[in-house]
Copies of this chain bind each other. A is one copy, B any other.
Amino acid sequence: MSLAEPSVVLQPQDRKDRILDAAERCFARTGFHKATMQDVATECGMSPGNLYRYFASKDDVVAGMTERDRERFMADMVHLNAAPDPRATFEALGRRHLVEEPREKTVLMMELWAEGARNPRIGDICRLMDSEVHAILTAFVVHWRTTDGIKAATPAAEVALLMLILSDGIYRRRANCATFDAEAAFGLIYPVVLQAIGVQGMSVSEVI
């Protein structure tokens, strides 16, 4: 019983997660730099000083949040590996990521992009995520083409890059315009991606 964990008591990792949850909300609301440690503390019902039991500095909170996001996203991505129905799996993932994700996530991503473009520590995490996602998507395109017996000219790596570029573009528009119709945008880019993969050699107009 000495090793059993009482379910009520939070473990250190849980507390860290709770702090990061609060930090996410604060950062999405006012940005990394304008949000204060006071804000984060209040948001998770703690005292400011106590945060420093779990994170060495504010920068550590930002980096911790970024790293957690990366891990979570990658965990979602691996579903693509060896998907029996590539098209359905892909569409579901795309919709979940680009349409259903709450707008706050996209706002946070803008913060991350801005910070990552200047702060090497954050930039490294962003680049790592990019290269991991790109690798997974490339493998997935190969897998899809193999499964469906597609022969297409555009290299899988380039198709994957196109997917990433389109995703980022949609993220950015969702972040800046609260009324942006993500569903419609998804309907616009999805056939473009299918075309690049080479599915049925369909043209944009045929799919829409």
A positions within 8 Å CB-CB of B: 29-34, 106-107, 110-111, 113-118, 123, 126-127, 130, 152-154, 158, 161-162, 164-170, 172-173, 175-177, 185, 188-189, 192, 195-196, 198, 201, 203-205, 208
A170 touches B176 (CB 8 A): no
- List of B residues within 8 angstroms of A208 by Cβ: 153-154
Bound-state Cα–Cα, A177 to B128, Å = 11
A31 touches B130 (CB 8 A): no
Bound-state Cα–Cα, A201 to B132, Å = 34
B188 touches A162 (CB 8 A): yes
Known: A123-B176, A161-B188, A167-B169. 19 other contacts (CB 8 A): A30-B118, A31-B118, A111-B114, A113-B113, A126-B176, A127-B176, A127-B177, A130-B173, A153-B204, A153-B205, A153-B208, A162-B192, A168-B168, A168-B169, A168-B172, A168-B173, A169-B172, A195-B195, A195-B203
A107 touches B118 (CB 8 A): yes
Bound-state Cα–Cα, A175 to B130, Å = 13
B176 touches A117 (CB 8 A): yes
A144 to chain B: closest CB distance in Å? Answer: 16
12 A–B contact pairs at CB < 8 A?
Answer: A31-B33, A31-B115, A110-B114, A130-B176, A153-B208, A154-B205, A161-B188, A162-B192, A164-B173, A166-B166, A192-B196, A195-B203
- List of B residues within 8 angstroms of A167 by Cβ: 169
Bound-state Cα–Cα, A5 to B176, Å = 42
A117 touches B126 (CB 8 A): no
A117 touches B175 (CB 8 A): yes
B204 touches A130 (CB 8 A): no
B114 touches A31 (CB 8 A): yes
- List of B residues within 8 angstroms of A152 by Cβ: 205
Bound-state Cα–Cα, A31 to B116, Å = 11
A146 to chain B: closest CB distance in Å? Answer: 18
